[in-house]
Chain A
Amino acid sequence: MKAFDYKFQHFDPVKSLKSAPKSEMYVPGHRTCAGCGPALNYRLVAKVAGRDTIFIGPTGCMYVANSSYLCTPYAVSWIHAQITNGGAVASGIEAAYKVLARKGKYDGPFPNIIVMAGDGGSVDIGLQAASAMMYRGHKVLFICYDNESYANTGIQTSPTTPYGANTTFTPPGKEIPEGKTLFPKDPPQLFIGGHPLLKYVATTSVAYPLDLMNKVRKALSYEGPTFLHMLTPCPKGWQFSEKLTIEMGKLAIETGMWSLYEWENGAYKYTHIPKKYKPVGEYMKHQGRFRHLKEEHIAKMQAFVDEKIQKVKAAAKPVEAVPAEPKKN
């Protein structure tokens, strides 16, 4: 096929909070819990994606809580998808815009097409559609907002729920003292390396908004599929006071439970690497979902995280976090 100019959008990095776009594309007025990590995440993503954006919302908290009832907080076009098919519906939208552009039925900038899927809708029931979309090379940003459970249905275990977490499908009991016995899937690792047209994968945390917004913009500047694994602490599911959402997003990185990195052109680039990692207990002690764990369970978690830290240290080269975070007093 001969080359056609689809008018893909390009984005400048956000240099400071002050220079970030002022308009909200995810506006106040939604039924998410007070302190909802995924809601904050959605707001930041929408803010930097801008007006020429289409969101696909597979069923989950970011569908039900946002759209109760017959009203949504999305100032840009949005469509509900099944929890099973976020990647597929997005593929159809991308295909439609491509053909409509070629036929002269649409001549605006090619919209950002963003799937906002939870962990279940990304790597459990939605995994097939996500993978196929990346394989086919559609220009879609697939976001996994990870609150580490099927939260909207009342907190059930998902493949990203941490070991030892108390969920309603993994309650601790006499027979099963730790609650969840399985260690989680690693979403970026599912996609990295196996999809030839997938060129950019990154992780983010709501505690680092500039880093987050810039990774979104970077992803949206690619002309093919991209994937973001975004940590979005959940006060209700993790059982912590709702004012600590951002603090949890920071402690996750400080303890090694979560790492911030980009995978681009086949290479890993880690940032925000703690000089000295805090013990996982520092993170887990705030969260009621871990309250039942004994020393031996926490030790198991520490061992798991230590292995991850080794991988980070092996892959990491010293990198300046760009752009600089605002200085705190």
Chain B
Amino acid sequence: MADEKMLTGCSAAAQALKLAEVEVICSYPIRPYTAIMMELAKMVANGELDAEFVHGEGEHAQLSVVLGASACGARAVTGSAGVGVTYAFELYSPLAGGRYPVQMTIADRTLDPPGDFGSEHTDAMSVRDQGWIIGWASTPQEVFDNTLMGYRIGEDPRIMLPQMTCQDGYFISHIPDKVKVASLSQVKEFLPPYSAPHPISTTCPVSHGPQIRPDQGAPMDAQRAETFLELPGVIKEATKDFNRIFGRNYDPFLEKYRLEDAEIAFFIQGAHSNTCRMAVDALRKQGVKAGMSRLRWVRPWPTTEIAESLGHVKAIGTIETSTSYGGAMRGGNLIHELRASLYDLDERPLTTSFMAGLGGETVWLEDFEFMAKVLLQTVKDKRTSKYVYWIGFED
């Protein structure tokens, strides 16, 4: 049934998009996601994929092109990285609020200034407020899987929202790993065709997006908010189906690694979770009750699942591969929403955050050892002494 291949994250995304039979692709080159588009271009040129491959003139145009295509009922994909993601910013709300379920495949890159090809999550994280479904893969296999899940969830008639499927640049996008490439029949069983509810059509004319009054704004916003209340249920269904059809074992929201009896835990998303798992194993060998909670979808944020699965942990450290300058903890992004999720528990875990992997640097096992030491000290002291630690800069 499934073919196992050694694929980079970029190739995995392209293979999944081919099986999803995307119909309109809008490209623009920017490291490190370009390879996804290069592979799709070859497929189209060779007749392996019947799609319109549109050479966008920039990232803002890419998102505009797929908006138009999706409005007509075509399954559309685009992608970017780093400042490309931020250049397209104007379009994120129109796409989400207009309910056009396009997919944007992102291989992260640190934002300028100045140029830095290494991976940071800030690019896609900065889109958090716009109403997209956003999540990180931690392996090329998961890139492949999330690509298919993204369309299934986003195109669900109850949802109709665009998705960002993200992978760390270089670590996942460029390093090959084993990927079970599904068969077309499996994909067809999992992913129904896209059906726009009121497409731009000549037979049933509609107007997409007339001007509204200010008092119509709140009801308009409420539409997206309401959908995000329904979204976790749809993600659960889709993940269950995915696991069954493709033989995987995903938790819909959080990968829980040795978490059940953990006293300290790492809260992390993306590529460095692979090192984190090894660190957890090493700590366990030393007798430390360590665990890892890996976030799969940052939007919708799994508030309840976090409270339920991490409530018993004594000290949690977030690994922040993104920045939130001037934020409450003066560090990254995950710590804010983690704390908010745990706030209403009778007994709140202690939490702190670690800036790690910024700029695309490797996060080493030694770094996780340092973080564990901090967390263990936190447990001992029964208090958080610092909101944020900068890995590599601490003594």
- Among A68, A70, A132, contact of B57 (Cβ-Cβ < 8 Å): A132
Question: For A100, what are the chain B residues with a Cβ–Cβ distance below 8 Å?
Answer: 23, 72-74
B208 to chain A: which residues have CB within 8 Å?
A: 77-80
A85-B61, A93-B69 in contact; A79/B209 too (CB < 8 A)?
yes
For residue A302, CB closer than 8 A to chain B, the reply is no
Contact status B24-A76, CB under 8 Å: no
Q: Are A95 and B54 touching (Cβ within 8 A)? A: yes
- Alpha-carbon distance between A92 and B54 when the two chains are bound, in angstroms: 8
Check A105 against B73 for contact (C-beta < 8 Å): yes
Distance in angstroms from A3 CB to nearest chain B CB is 15
A to B contact number (C-beta, < 8 Å): 152
Enumerate 12 A-B pairs (CB-CB under 8 Å) in ascending A order: A71-B207, A77-B205, A77-B208, A78-B205, A89-B67, A92-B66, A92-B71, A96-B73, A100-B23, A103-B50, A105-B73, A108-B203
Smallest CB separation, A143 vs chain B (Å)? 16
Q: Which of A51-59, A179-187, A213-221 contacts B (4 or more CB under 8 A)?
A: A51-59
CB-based contact B202/A88 at 8 Å: no
| A57 nearest CB neighbor, chain B only | B209
Chain B proximity of A112: nearest CB distance (Å) = 9
User: Using an 8 Å CB-CB cutoff, how does the interface string of B210-244 with A read, 1 for contact, 0 for none?
Assistant: 11110010000000000000000000000000000
Given A88-B56, A91-B54, A100-B73; A70-B212 close (CB under 8 Å): yes
For chain B, residues 46 to 95, give those with C-beta under 8 angstroms from any C-beta of chain A.
50-52, 54-58, 60-61, 64-74, 76, 90-91, 94
**Contact across chains for B50 and A102 when beta carbons are under 8 A apart:** yes
Chain B residues engaging chain A, CB cutoff 8 angstroms:
23-24, 26, 50-52, 54-58, 60-61, 64-74, 76, 90-91, 94, 200-203, 205-213, 216
Give Cα A95–Cα B25 distance, bound, in whole angstroms.
9
A102 to B51, CA, bound (A): 9
Complex-state Cα separation, A316 to B201, whole angstroms: 42
Majority SS at the chain B contact face: mixed
- A97: which B residues are within 8 A, CB to CB? 72
Contact A84 B90 (CB under 8 A): yes
**A76 and B202: CB pair below 8 A?**
yes
B64–A129 touching, CB < 8 Å: yes
Is A63 touching B60 in the complex (CB atoms < 8 A)? no
Q: Is the CB of A78 within 8 A of B207?
A: yes
Is A47 among interface residues, defined by CB-CB distance under 8 A?
no
Does the CB pair A96–B23 fall under 8 Å? yes
Name A82's contact: one of B23, B90, B210 (CB within 8 Å): B90
Known: A51-B202, A77-B202. A128 touches B58 (CB 8 A): yes
Q: Which of A69, A75, A82, A129 contacts B212 (CB 8 A)?
A: A69
Residues of A near B207 (CB, < 8 A) are 67, 71-72, 74, 77-79
B218 to chain A, nearest CB (A): 14
* Neighbouring A residues of B70 by C-beta, 8 Å: 92, 96
Check if A82 sits within 8 Å of B72, measured CB to CB. Answer: no
Q: Establish whether residues A92 and B26, one from each chain, have CB atoms under 8 Å apart when the complex forms.
A: yes
In the complex, what's the smallest C-beta–C-beta distance from A140 to chain B, in angstroms? 10
**Residue from the set B66, B74, B91 with the largest chain A CB neighbour count within 10 Å:** B74
- Report chain B residues within 8 Å CB of A63: 211
| Seed contacts A67-B210, A92-B64; 14 additional CB < 8 Å A-B pairs | A70-B212, A75-B205, A77-B201, A79-B68, A81-B64, A84-B64, A84-B90, A88-B61, A95-B52, A95-B65, A96-B76, A108-B202, A131-B57, A132-B56
From B57, B73, B213, give the contact of A129 (CB < 8 A).
Answer: B57
Contact status A99-B51, CB under 8 Å: yes
B55 to chain A minimum Cβ distance, whole angstroms, is: 6
Q: Kindly identify which residue among A67, A69, A82, A93 contacts B216, using a CB–CB cutoff of 8 Å.
A: A69
A98 CB-CB contact with B under 8 Å: yes
Question: Do the beta carbons of A99 and B202 come within 8 Å of each other?
Answer: no
In the complex, are the beta carbons of B68 and A93 less than 8 A apart? yes
| A270, B67: Cα distance in complex, Å | 39
List B contacts of A79 (CB < 8 A).
68, 71, 200, 207-209
> Is A10 an interface position by the 8 A CB rule?
no
With a CB–CB cut-off of 8 A, which chain A residues contact B51? 99
Closest to B193 in A: A105
Q: How many whole Å from B142's CB to the nearest CB in chain A? A: 29
Interface residue A111 (Cβ < 8 Å from any Cβ of B): yes
A-B pairs with lowest CB-CB distance, top 7: A92-B68, A80-B209, A67-B210, A88-B64, A132-B57, A95-B52, A96-B74
Say yes or no: A93-B90 contact (C-beta < 8 A), given A84-B60, A85-B64.
no
